[in-house]
Amino acid sequence: AELKPIEGLSGAVPGPRPSADSCVSPAGKAQEALQERYRGGSLVGCGGFGWGWAGRAVYPPAPLGLQVAVKRVPQNSIQHWGELVSDAPLEIVLLDKVSSGCAGIIQLLAWTEFPNSFLLVLEHPEPSQDLQHFIRARGFLSKQVARELFRQVLEAVQHCTSCRVLHRDIKPEIILLDLATGQLKLIDFGCRILSYSPPVWIHHQCYHSTAATIWSLGLLLYQLVMGKHPFRTGQEIIWGVILFPQWLSQECQDIIKSCLSMQPLDTPSLEDLFCRPWMQGVHLP
Asked if 38 and 57 count as a contact pair (C-beta separation under 8 A), the reply is: yes
Q: Is 126 annotated as a binding residue?
A: no
Task: Report the distance separating Cα 245 and Cα 226, nearest Å.
Answer: 9
**Catalytic residue selected from 169, 178, 188, 266:** 169
Helices 209-226 and 250-259: crossing angle in degrees, nearest 10, is 150
Q: Is 91 annotated as a binding residue?
A: no
**Quick check: is 169 catalytic?**
yes
Nearest in space to 94 (alpha carbons), one of 161, 49, 151, 140 = 161
Asked if 148 and 66 count as a contact pair (C-beta separation under 8 A), the reply is: no
Looking at this protein, which amino acid is placed at residue 160? C
Q: Is 87 annotated as a binding residue?
A: no
Residue 232 φ/ψ, nearest 5 degrees: -100, -25
Asked if 17 and 118 count as a contact pair (C-beta separation under 8 A), the reply is: no
Task: Report the distance separating Cα 33 and Cα 114, nearest Å.
Answer: 12
Task: Report the distance separating Cα 253 and Cα 16, nearest Å.
Answer: 42
Residues involved in catalysis: 169
Positions at the binding site for ATP: 71, 123, 130
Positions at the binding site: 71, 123, 130
